[in-house]
């Protein structure tokens, strides 16, 4: 099993969609999707808070409460994802092994395993 480009040894390889034949896709756990969304919202809230501190009289109470709530949510989701991680790894490995055609992003070289 090779996860590097045979031509330039770059690890930046991407799977090429196989024509015909069922392609197994890795199962992305819902906790990861929610975690990414929550982190995105948290970043947004933090940015708004910082902007309000700079341009106004500081972040409002509602905003502060919302930031704390989302932060706690991120921690919970992080923990849930941590529990899903072993399954996710197995699913990803299954996908990598079933994937026969690869393409290198560095040198555009395509090959089949």
**Rule CB under 5 A: which residues touch Zn ion?**
5, 7-8, 10, 104, 106-107, 109
Pick 77 or 104: Cβ nearer Zn ion: 104
**Cβ distance to Zn ion smaller for residue 12 or 25:** 12
As measured in angstroms, the least distance from the Cβ of 99 to Zn ion is 16
Which residue number, 101 or 109, has a Cβ lying nearer to Zn ion?
109
Element (H or E) spanning 78, and its range?
helix 61-98
CB of 36 vs Zn ion, minimal distance in Å? 29
Q: What percentage of the chain's residues is helix, strand, coil (to nearest 5)?
A: 55, 10, 35
How far apart CA 106 and CA 13 sit, in angstroms, is 8
């Amino acid at each position: 099993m090779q996860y590097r480009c045979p031509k330039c040894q770059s690890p930046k390889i991407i799977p090429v969609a196989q024509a015909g034949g069922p392609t197994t896709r890795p199962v992305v756990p819902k906790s990861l999707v929610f975690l990414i969304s929550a982190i995105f919202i948290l970043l947004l809230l933090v940015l708004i808070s910082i902007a309000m501190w700079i341009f106004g009289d500081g972040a409002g109470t509602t905003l502060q409460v919302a930031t704390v709530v989302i932060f706690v949510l991120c921690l919970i989701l992080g923990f849930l994802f941590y529990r899903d991680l072993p399954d996710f790894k197995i699913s990803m490995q299954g996908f990598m092994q079933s994937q026969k055609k690869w393409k290198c992003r560095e040198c555009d070289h395509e090959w089949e395993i």
